[in-house]
Amino acid sequence: MQALSPTVSEQPRKWLALGVLAAGLSMIVLDGTIVGVALPRIIGDLHLDLTDAQWVSSLYAMVFAALLLVFGRLADRLGRRTVFAVGVAVFVVASIIAGQAGSGSALIASRALQGIGGAMILPATLSTVNATFRGQDRARAFGIWGAVMAGMAAVGPLLGGWLVTSFDWRWIFYVNVPLGVLILIGTALTVPQTQGARSHRGLDVGGLLTSGPGLALVVFGLIEGTPLGWWRPTATFTLAGLTWPVTAPVSVVVPAIATGVGLLVLFAVWERRRSSAGRDALLDLRLFAVPTFSWGNLTAFAVAAGEFALVFVLPLYLVNVLGLTVLSTGVVVAAMALGAFASGAQARRLATRLRPPVIVVLGLALELAGVLVTAFMVGPDTSPWALAATLVVYGVGLGLASAQLTSTVLGDVPTEQSGSASAAQSTARQLGSALGTAIAGSTLAAGLSAGLPDRLARIPQLPNELAQQLAASSADSAGGVIPLLRADGTHGPLGGIGPLVTDALSAGFADATRLALISAAVLVGLGVLGAIRVARLAPASPLGVPAQRTDAAGASALHAPADDPGVHSPTHAAETSEPAQPVTSAAG
């Protein structure tokens, strides 16, 4: 059962426990921002193609999203401290494997294992904080938790750039080892063991078997669509000894996406039937009868998708086109996190003057402006520091939106359903992270395939066959060929036309980057529409905090018996309405 309210003598320990829990989540954020900055170096060292790079970035979030609800339930049953500690241990082991990876396949597999660890850490952390703190302490705890996460988001790109430049990209993973050991020691010494109510309604195995594979197949189709063909197969696909030939009538991507969507539809039907029968379900779909919750999750999904689309594409452009070092790239990307950190700290004060849903709309509008300006600024000769300035604007919007988004989404959800609702929103964020990377990568690949041949065809001295090879190698290496050609100058195999080829490839990659950033802008724009809808639906208290509605359409049906003594009563609704959220969605 959950721990009761701490005594005065336990007060210092619970704040130390908060530091340990925040550090566990910070490790996830740190890993995500470091990987994004180091990706160009990883591509070159392990000879990855663009598809492999997408898997390195998106597989973590995909596994995270698929298992988040499951491990949230297991944490309630087995003990949140136990699941948190096991998750940290798994994450550390996965980081060691990633640091020793000698191939793209090994690195991708280790990222999947990191996703399992992350899916254990996040729900256990949120539930433990919610069970440990009461009253004003709970609001302060979530504020500190969010501030620490935002700070690590700002440190991540800088630390990643320094580690890659001074040592090796493998150290971006090894840095998790000492941090994880300290977290495990702190967990044993300070974090209380809490549990939810004992449930005898069965584990939702069917939900796991339909949601996980469904998400995996959809993301697989989005990532592999360009190399394997969106409709007609353009390459042979082989898996576990089975081959999908290039002579097949349709690409393997078509049945993959269709099957994935079908499994997700089956998941929804299955979850609705289990909830109606009073059995345990991974996702209580009755929550989506609350309009602000359903529209708010669309907004959370879009925010994460746009953010990770931007973070995936921009480092590749900065390193390969503008010729920045990894450390300088980290500085530019950190401008976004610093802007988010600064605005996130002020978001709660603004919420006392303006309604939180209005803050979310304002933040997303700034995000949309920032990403659109960035998209139209990118070019082969753009100043990276001018881009950093636009990223600050984007970051300010991200901080405002993230800090108030959860309180807005959960404002109308009955208090006893807040755990399931929080897990659903976290899943929406992680799914957005995975799909955002996949969509941006696919758009970048399509832009490179369409634009590079045309750019190279304008060089009359370049033979057509060589032009096709250069375009293909540039697309496959995610632009990694460009710095090599730039270093050769006129002394390389291309001779005097080397600089012309480099300029053409740089311009083509910049054009493709612009398309990818526009796809990110479309995703953020979807979030703006969702946030506007939430702002129109959400009522407000005199202090500007979304009021808990018990008479919302469908909301009364969600009130279940509070059979867990640790579940906070409705009198605590206002105390939990404004947890500050991590500005990077806590994803890798």
For residue 29, give both structure tokens. Answer: 């954020």
pLDDT band at 162 (very low <50, low <70, confident <90, very high): confident
pLDDT of residue 113: 94
Please give, one letter per residue, the 3-state secondary structure of 147-193.
HHHHHHHHHHHHHHHHHHHHCCCCHHHHCHHHHHHHHHHHHHHHCCC
Architecture category of domain 1-193 in CATH = Up-down Bundle (1.20)
Phi, psi of 546 (to 5 degrees): -55, 130
CA 314/CA 320 separation, integer angstroms: 10
Q: Do 536 and 460 touch, CB atoms closer than 8 A? A: no
Extents of the domains making up the chain: 1-193, 202-279, 286-540
Length of the chain: 588
Q: How far is CA 304 from CA 111, 126, 308, 332, 402, in A?
A: 19, 19, 6, 20, 10
pLDDT band at 374 (very low <50, low <70, confident <90, very high): very high
List the CATH code of the domain at 286-540.
Answer: 1.20.1250.20
For residue 499, give both structure tokens. Answer: 């600089």
Tell me if domain 1-193 and domain 286-540 are identical in fold.
Answer: yes
pLDDT of residue 47: 86
pLDDT of residue 10: 55
pLDDT of residue 71: 82
Average pLDDT over residues 365-372: 93
pLDDT of residue 347: 65
The least confident of 62-66, 79-83, 547-551 is: 547-551
Residue 217 has pLDDT above 60, yes or no: yes
pLDDT digits (tens, 9 = 90+) for 417-461: 666 677 777 778 878 887 888 888 889 988 988 888 888 888 888
pLDDT digits (tens, 9 = 90+) for 538-566: 665 434 444 444 333 333 333 333 333 33
pLDDT of residue 525: 92
The least confident of 136-150, 233-247, 382-396 is: 136-150
pLDDT digits (tens, 9 = 90+) for 228-274: 888 888 878 877 677 888 888 888 888 988 998 999 899 888 888 88
Q: Do 2 and 194 touch, CB atoms closer than 8 A? A: yes
Average pLDDT over residues 467-496: 79
pLDDT digits (tens, 9 = 90+) for 513-524: 999 999 999 999
Backbone CA torsion sign across 568, 571, 577, 581: negative
pLDDT of residue 576: 37
First and final C-alpha spacing in the chain? 32
Residue 567 has pLDDT above 80, yes or no: no
